[in-house]
Structure 1
Amino acid sequence: MSQEITSAAIADYQAQLQQLPQSATVKRAVMNNGILAASENTDSKVAMNQTFSVDLSAEKVANQKQSGRCWMFAALNTMRRSIADQFNLKDFELSQNYTNFWDKFEKSNYFYENILATATEPLESRKVAFLLATPQQDGGQWDMLTALIDKYGIVPKYVMPETYNSSKSSELNSVLNLKLRKDAVTLRQMVADKASEQEIATTKSRFLSEVYRILVYTLGEPPVKFDFEYRDGDKAYHIDRDLTPQTFFKKYVGWDLDNYQSIINAPTDDKPYNHLYTVEMLGNVVGGRQVRHLNLDIDTFKQLAIKQLQAGESVWFGSDVGQASDRQIGIMDTAIYNKDDLFNVDLSMTKAQRLDYGESLMTHAMVITGVDLVDDKPTKWKVENSWGDKVGEKGYFVMSDAWLDQYVYQIVINKQYLPADLLAATKEDPKVLAPWDPMGALASH
C-alpha cells in the first residue's frame, strides 16, 4: 500500500537535519559554490600528475568540437600514430569527416532495414520505439568503425576536411532523423499494404539517394582517388599519386582489423566472464562486421591493456566520462569529489549495480597512451582525449586506476596478446543481448 508524505514526517526530517552540527556551513558552501566545488578533493590533483613509467610519444590532440564522434576520433588516433611513426610525420590527422559521411549513410540504410524487419510489430513495441527514439546519431563503437574501414578505407584529413556540419552536428542530425522517421512511415505502410519486395527496394533506394544528397550538401562528397602529398619531419617532400581510400589504408596503416578484439568488463550476472556477446540491432554497415564483445574480469582486462602499451601500441577505450571527472583540468579519479562526506549520505554502488540500474554506461571513447606502474601494478593511466588542447595537459587527461576499475567498460586489444583460452573464446558464437543492453551504448560525448 502506498504512503503519502505527512507533515509529521517532514517535521521529523527537519529535526534530523538540525541535529547535524555542520549543516549550516555545508548549506552555505553548496548553495554558493555548487556540489562539485564544495566536495572537491585537492589531494586528487596532487596524486594525478602527468608522469608515467610507460609513456608513448605524444601527438597533438584532435578536436571533435560540437559533435559526438569521439569513438571515430579515438580509433583514427590509434591509426594515425602508426602512420606518423612510420613516415616521420608531425601533427598528422586522418579525416574524421570521411568516415563520418559513410557512417551516417550506412546508419540510414541500417535503420531502414531494421524498420522493415519490425514492420509488422505495433508502434508501441519496445523494439520499434527503440528504433524511432534515435534513428541515427553521431555515436558508435570500435567494431562499427572497422566495418566502415573494411568497406570504404580512410583518407588524410586534408583530402576531406571538416565542415560546419561535421564539427557542429546538431542541425544535420535533426534533419536526417526527421527524414528517417518520415521514411519509416512510408516503409511500414508499404509492408502493411503488402507491397512487393521490388517496390519496397525501389522506394528504399530513392530514400538513400536523398540521404546521400543531404550528406553531400552538409559534409562534402567523399573522394574516390587522391594524391598523398606531405613533408616529413626532416622537411623532405613526398607524393604518392592515384590512391583510393582502400589502398591508402592498406599501404599506410596496413593493419588486419580482424586481429583486434573488443574486450568489455561488465560484472553483471547476465554476462559470465570469458564469453562472447553481441547486441541485437547494434551496428551501421548492413552485411559488415558484427559487434562482438569478450567479457573479462577487471584484472585480466587491465593486464591486456598494459601488455599492448608496453609493446608500443596505444589502446582505444570506452568509459563513462561524466562520472567523477573534471574535464577542465583533465582528471578522472574516484577520489576527486567527496559527495558522500558533503551530504553525509552513502552514494556508493557497485559497477554491476550501476549498469543494472541505469546509473552508468559507456558514453565516451578515448585512447590510453601511457600507464604508471609501481611494483608492476598500475596506479594511473595517461589518456589522449579529443576535446582539443585547451583542457587537461594540452588535451591529455589522467585516469586513476580506481576510476578505470569503476567506469571503463571497453578496450580494444590486438589478439596476439590474448592467451590461448581467451583466443578460443573469441571464436565462439556470441550470446545476443537486447538492443537496450548497456553494452550496446554508443560513445558519443
Structure 2
Amino acid sequence: MNRQIIDQPKLDKFKKKFKARENSEIIANAVIKNGINDTALNNESVKKMHYDFSEEIDVGKVTNQEKSGRCWMFAALNNIRYSISKDLKIKDHDFELSQAYTMFWDKLEKANYFLENIISTVELDIDSRRVMWLLNEPTNDGGQWDMFTALIEKYGIVPKYVMPESYHSSNSHYLNKILSLKLRDLAQTLRKDFKLGADKESLREEKEDMLAEIYSILAYFLGEPPQNFDFEYRNKDGEFYRDSELTPQEFYNKYSKVKMTDYVSIINAPTADKPFDQTYTVEFLGNVKEGQQIHYLNLPIEKLIAYTKEQLKDGEPVWFGCDVGQWSDRELGIMDTKLFNYGDVLDTKFSLDKGQRLQYGESILTHAMAFTGVNLKDDEPLSWKVQNSWGEKVGENGFFIMSNDWFKEFNYEVVINKKYLAEA
C-alpha cells in the first residue's frame, strides 16, 4: 500500500465514513444551500450577546474607514476625538478628526522608512531574505499604536473639515499600487547607483529628490495637508468658539487630553519563544525614522483584561488589536467563540490553542478597534462593547459586542495608560 497517495480504496473508505454519519446528506444539503455560517450559527450565542453593558462610554457615532486599511488610525483618532469633544462639550456629536491628514504623513514617512531600509541593506544580494522582505510590500495602510504616536507627536492632528476624505483615502488600493511601483523603482535606482560607486551619504542625498516625488504623488491623491487653520465649534450651550491660525501641532498639544506617550502597547502572545514580562519589537516595522521603535510588552491575558476593565471604568476608551474574522459575524456585530458550531456541523474537532494558532499561521492580528464598554458581573467581564470603523450598517449602529472568551482567544493587543501598570 502506498500511503503517500490517494487511491481508490482510500476514496471508498472516505466515502463510507461520510455516509456512516446519521443525516450526513441532510447536513450537507443545508451547508450547500445556505453556507456554513448560516447553518452553523448558534442562536444561544446570539441571545446571550445582547447590547447591555454595566460600564459604558458615550463616544458618539462610529466612523467609516471605507475601503482602506486605516483601522489603527481610526481607532486612535476616535479616542482623541472623544477626549476633545467631551472636554469642550462640542455640540456636534459627529465631530471627527481628519484621517486623510494622518494618512498623508504616514505614507510619506513610510516611503522614507522604506528607502532608508533599502540604503541600509544595499550591500546585500537582491535575493537575500531581508531585501526580498522589504520589496515584497514597500507600503501599505497598516500600522501600530507606536507608529501613530510618532506621527501625532511630529505632525499633530486637524479636524476632518480642514482636510476631508478624498476618493483615494477611502479607496486606497490604487494609491498603494502606484506608491509601491514607484518605491520599487526608486529602490532599484539606489541599489544600481551603489554598485556604480555611490556611498550611502550620496544615496541619502539622492533620496531627498525621490521623496519630493512621493510628496507630489500623495498631494495628487490626497491633497496637501494644511499648515494652519481656524478651529471652530459650538458647544452644547449654544456658544460659538473660534481659535484662529492654529498649526496641527498646536491643536494637538492644546486640545487633546490624550497624550500618546502616556500609553504602552501590551500584547498577549503565549508562545514559548516570547516569555511573558518582556518587551519585544519587530524589525522593519515603523514609519517615522526618528520616532521611537515599536515596542510590545508581553503579558498574560488576565492582565490585559484587568487593565482594560480599569481604564474603561475610569471613563476612557481602550485601543486594541485582534483577529476580527475569527468566530465573528459582521452583520450581527458579534464576536464569540460559541457563535458557530462548525465542529458539530462538520463532524470534526479543532484543537489548536492560542499560542499554536499563532505559530501555525492560523491567527494573526488583523484589525484595530476601541473598547467603549464592558458588562461586569461580580466585577468579572461577561462581554465587551466595541467601537468599530466600518460604518453604521453593520452590528448595532456600527458597534460590535465581544464575549470575554473571545477576548481571551483572539484579542492580541491593548493600549493602556502607564498609570494602570504602576498601580498594579
Q: Under TM normalisation by the shorter chain, which class is it?
A: over 0.9
Letter aligned with residue 357 of structure 2: R
Alignment partners' CA distance in 2, 1:360 and 1:263: 18
Q: 8 Å contact 2:80–2:257 — kept in the other structure?
A: no
Cα distance in 1 between the residues matched to 2:258 and 2:83 = 10
Q: How much does 1:245 deviate?
A: 0.6
Distance, in Å, in 1 between the alignment partners of 2:14 and 2:257 is 65
The reply to whether residue 183 of structure 1 matches residue 197 of structure 2 is no
Question: Counterparts in 2 of 1:1-400, with a 5 A limit?
Answer: 3-89=4-90, 90-400=93-403
> Which residue number in structure 2 is paired with residue 426 of structure 1?
none
SS for the counterpart of 1:158 is: coil
- 2:197 and 2:344 map into 1 onto residues whose CA distance is 63
Distance 2:18 2:323 in 1: 33
Distance in 2 separating the partners of 1:115 and 1:300: 39
Q: Classify the secondary structure of the residue corresponding to 2:161.
A: helix
Matches within 5 A, 1:415-426: 415-419=418-422
Q: Report the Cα distance in structure 2 between the residues aligned to 1:179 and 1:196, rounded to whole angstroms.
A: 22
User: What are the Cα deviations for residues 143-196 of structure 1, in whole angstroms up to 9, with x where unaligned?
Assistant: 100000011011111111100010011111110010011111111112222213
TM-aligned CA deviation for residue 233 of structure 1: 2.0
- CA RMSD between the two structures: 1.2
Contact 2:65–2:391 (CA under 8 A) maintained in structure 1: yes
Mean Cα deviation higher: 281-290 or 124-133 = 124-133
Structure 1 residue identity aligned to 2:317: S
Name the CA distance, whole Å, in 1 between partners of 2:403 and 2:146.
26
* Aligned-pair CA distance for 1:138: 0.6
Alpha carbons of 1:121 and 1:197: their partners in 2 closer, same or farther (altered >3 Å)? closer
Q: Secondary structure at the match of 1:381?
A: strand
SS, match of residue 137 in structure 1: coil
- Please give the secondary structure, in 1, of the residue aligned with 2:383: strand
> Which whole-Å CA distance do the structure 2 matches of 1:417 and 1:166 have between them?
35
**SS at the partner of 1:13?**
helix
Cα distance in 1 for residues equivalent to 2:299 and 2:196: 48
Q: Which amino acid aligns with 1:410?
A: E
Shift of 1:2: 7.0
Q: Which runs of 4+ in 1 moved over 4 A?
A: none
Q: Distance in 2 between matches of 1:245 and 1:58?
A: 23
Aligned residue pairs total 421
After superposition, the C-alpha distances for 1:281-331 in whole angstroms (9 at most, x for unaligned) are 110000112111001101111000001001110000000001111011100
1:410 corresponds to which of 410, 413, 420: 413
Q: After superposition, what is the alpha-carbon deviation per residue over 1:384-440, rounded to whole angstroms, capped at 9, x for unaligned?
A: 0001111111111000001010110000000000046x8xxxxxxxxxxxxxxxxxx
One-letter identity of the residue aligned with 1:402? D
The residue type paired with residue 167 of structure 1 is S
SS at match of 2:203: helix
Equivalents in 2 of 1:320, 1:252: separation in Å?
A: 33
- Report the counterpart of residue 433 of structure 1 in structure 2: none
- Please tell me whether the aligned partners of residues 119 and 200 of structure 2 are also in contact (alpha carbons under 8 angstroms): no
SS of the residue corresponding to residue 305 of structure 2 reads helix
The gaps in structure 2 that reach 5 residues or longer are none
Aligned-partner Cα distance in 1 for 2:136–2:144? 19
Q: What's the % identity of the aligned pairs?
A: 51
- Superposed displacement of residue 123, structure 1: 2.3
Asked whether the 8 Å contact 2:270–2:354 carries over to 1, the reply is yes
Change in 2 beyond 3 A, CA 1:207/1:2: farther
Shift of 1:254: 3.8
- Is the 2:301–2:408 contact (alpha carbons within 8 Å) kept by the matching residues of 1? yes
How many angstroms does 1:242 deviate by? 1.1
Task: Supply the AA of the counterpart residue of 1:41.
Answer: N
- Separation of aligned partners in 2, 1:66 and 1:136: 16
- Tell me the CA shift for residue 340 of structure 1: 0.6
- The amino acid of 1:94's aligned partner reads L
Where 2:126 maps in the other structure, the secondary structure is coil
Rounded Cα–Cα distance in structure 2 between residues aligned with 1:145 and 1:128: 25
For 1:370 and 1:3, how far apart are their aligned partners in 2?
A: 53
Cα distance in 1, alignment partners of residues 189 and 132 from structure 2:
16
In 2: Cα distance, 1:177 partner to 1:349 partner:
36
Contact 2:75 2:389 in 1 (8 A): yes
* Structure 2 letter corresponding to 1:310: K
Please give the per-residue CA displacement for 1:356-379, whole angstroms capped at 9, x wherever unaligned: 000011000000000011111101
What is the DSSP-based 3-state SS (H/G/I as helix, E as strand, rest coil) of the residue aligned with 2:309?
Answer: helix
- Counterpart-to-counterpart distance in 2, 1:249 and 1:110: 24
Given that residues 389 and 398 in structure 2 are in contact (C-alpha distance below 8 angstroms), is that contact kept between their aligned partners in structure 1?
A: yes
SS of corresponding position for 1:279:
coil
Q: CA deviation at 1:95?
A: 0.5
Q: Is the 2:59–2:82 Cα contact (8 Å) retained in structure 1?
A: no
- Aligned residue identity for 1:242: E
The residue that corresponds to 1:439 in the other structure is none
Q: What is aligned with 1:425?
A: none
Whole-Å Cα distance in 2 between the matches of residues 324 and 414 of structure 1? Answer: 29
Contact 2:335 2:403 in 1 (8 A): yes
CA offset at residue 43 of structure 1?
Answer: 1.1
